[in-house]
Structure 1
């Protein structure tokens, strides 16, 4: 920070000792230390304020670039219109499994993504005995 050589520092210390005197030298050093600390605090505060202003300016610049890039992308690729919900063309259900026989046996189903067959198990459903309340799929009585 201050390029003070050891010989220069010893010269200043000797002059301070002669001018101020050995009795008042500790008090003078405390005062000098206090003001050096104050100066460092002001410099640190200035540097932090400057860094904050630079960071805010960079953020504003980045936000402007982001908005311009987003606008360009939206112009090049406009959003697709929402799909119409028509009753005229209902979507066909997709089934991956083959129907099971009346005993609930499993049948291999071929997956388009691999050569291995995928086995899908069908649960064996036992009808309720007469006089027993029927239950819905979530377990609640109907």
Structure 2
């Protein structure tokens, strides 16, 4: 895959309770802009990056859901995530990717860094500012 920096392992953060072998697919609502149905499934080579996504997803449920991180494997082609790469930041510092093809769950990761309440509040504020300033456009 041209321009893709990683061969894995890869991770996905979510609030879904999944089992090994299940598939994650595109077509879900965005954690950041719930009015948008995503054309891709997103993942990262950074376990704590997936943890951040899981924490944000859990935050949107008012803390009623448990954030989870899964080890995943792409089942098809994938590309650098343009929401955090060259269109917005140089290179791919977050090692984030997206695919139109499903991701297969290969295991759950329990050893990842949880956000402190202060860090979670800072992300809440950062996302709120980004979305209210119109900078939260998602390249879908």
TM bin, normalised by shorter chain, reads under 0.3
Structure with the largest fraction of helix: 1
TM-score (norm 2): 0.19
Structure with the largest fraction of strand: 2
Larger RCO, structures 1/2 (Cα 8 Å, 6+ apart): 2
Greater Cα radius of gyration, structure 1 or 2? 1
